[in-house]
Amino acid sequence: MEQELWLVAGLGNPGRQYEKTWHNCGYLVLEVLSQRHQIPLNKIRFKGLTGQGTIAGRKVVLLQPTTYMNLSGESVREAMAFYKIPPQRTLVIYDDLDLPAGQIRMRPSGGAGTHNGMRSIISQLGRQDFPRVRVGIGPLPANWELVSYVLSDIPQDQQKEMFEAFSRAADAVEKTLRDGIEAAMNQANQKKERHESE
């Protein structure tokens, strides 16, 4: 029997000016996975950048939609249709303003919240029962407009914390592939401990 394939999609916006913005957390987590598992994101397919390889003994397609965030669903839907990957093996990684910066949350399904990329995916698929890893970027600072904030660069003094969060989000993806979504949720959804020295 052909081994079951997984799709892991990290959401963001293409282009150098968006590389290190809050809204590109999904892209940045995918880059961690790409480096860890030597899966280069170098093929242009499904309106995105893709790479194929193995993570935790499972075959995966990594996908960075390059449609801009609001149309992410077109890219995800095309990849799922081409490989015949069902929603339960489609894992989406994205930034979430409703979570404190640096916190990770995993869920097997759910709505889009305020996230346009997720809204696009749910709209394109006509369903919301696919697992997701959310990377906290909140709260919205006072006097900031939502769009201006999510498209601003992650400040220097928060980059270390956020890159640790990307690493933990990548761990959550690996745990899902190795042990299943429940085990990954138990690991990922523990509150991040604050060290006394921070």
**Out of 23, 37, 115, 195, which one is annotated catalytic?**
23
Tokens representing 125 are 């698929």
Q: How far apart are alpha carbons 28 and 20 in whole angstroms?
A: 8
What is the DSSP code (8-state) at residue 196? Answer: T
Q: Is 23 assigned a catalytic role?
A: yes
Q: Where are the alpha helices (H) located in the chain, listed in sequence order? A: 25-36, 72-83, 116-125, 146-150, 156-179, 181-188
- The Cα–Cα gap between 102 and 95 comes to 10
Which residue numbers are catalytic?
A: 23
